Amino acid sequence: MKNKEYTLITGASSGIGKALAFRCAARQMNLVLVALPCTGLRETAEEISEKYGTDVKIYEADLTENSIAERIHTWCEEEKIQIKYLINNAGMGYAAAFETVKMNFFNTMMKLNMNAVVAMTHAFIPDLKKISGAGILNVSSMASMLPIPNKSVYAASKSFVLSFSRAMYQELKSYNIHVSCLCPGAVPTSEQVKERMRNGGWIHKLFSSKAMTVAEKAVSRFLKAKPLIIPNYADNIVFQISKLIPANIRIALMGRIMGFNKSK
């Protein structure tokens, strides 16, 4: 008997990941939701299943652990779960001068933002090749477009995700696997981000979007196999204009848009 097809979403207990889960379920996709333990994942799964009637499974795990992607893949095989869409959403960020952040935090962030994306993609590609029209959606950020003061390592990690996604798009298109990269601007997913948005004035609000709005546009364009998804209209304008602006000016502009000032 053919296994049921599922969409696997990492970081699915909150923020964009949770919103993506709701929007995928609204399209009658069965889901595998992955997130840290004790983050409300089970409650999210129950809410989605009750609202949309889709099958929702959960796997609680820390994606920074060694070999976790292989363990998730093995579990899917044991549960007869066929992954058609892989959404690598889990990530973390910060807002502070580089030297004030401890290396342990940076190491964890790089494992989650970069290593986990690579590991999950590597683990599931053989399965995706077996399904016509399979796809991978990697969640990056507008911060991937250029360096950002006080978000130096975060921006670099998201640049990695964008570059990796573009390369995988070319590698996998001959297997009928489409790879998309989502680059949202500011999304109020934490109190820290909300505070920066309040302090950033009208410019920061212009370049911000609600998680559910981002998710709806992301899923719609992902299913249309768009390689690059910039959900906010204002962000897209800046992206197009930025190609014509010298790098040093672009960096200063992006720093202003993201709500940061030069460190003192």
**Catalytic residue ranges:** 154
Could you tell me which of 230, 234, 241 has the C-alpha nearest to residue 257?
Answer: 234
Distant-in-sequence, close-in-space partners of 106: CB < 8 Å, separation ≥ 6:
153
Q: What percent of the chain is helix, strand and coil (3-state, nearest 5)?
A: 55, 15, 30
Residue 165: which H helix or E strand, with range?
A: helix 152-172
Amino acid at site 78: E
Longest dimension (CA), the chain: 64
Per the DSSP assignment, residues forming a β-bridge with 221 are none
According to the 3-state scheme, what is the secondary structure of 122-147?
HHHHHHHCCCCCCEEEEECCHHHHCC
How far is the C-alpha of 177 from the C-alpha of 85, rounded, in Å? 9
How far is the C-alpha of 237 from the C-alpha of 257, rounded, in Å? 13
How far is the C-alpha of 84 from the C-alpha of 208, rounded, in Å? 30
* Strand ranges inside 37-113, DSSP E: 56-60, 81-88
Distant-in-sequence, close-in-space partners of 102: CB < 8 Å, separation ≥ 6:
none
Per the DSSP assignment, residues forming a β-bridge with 129 are none
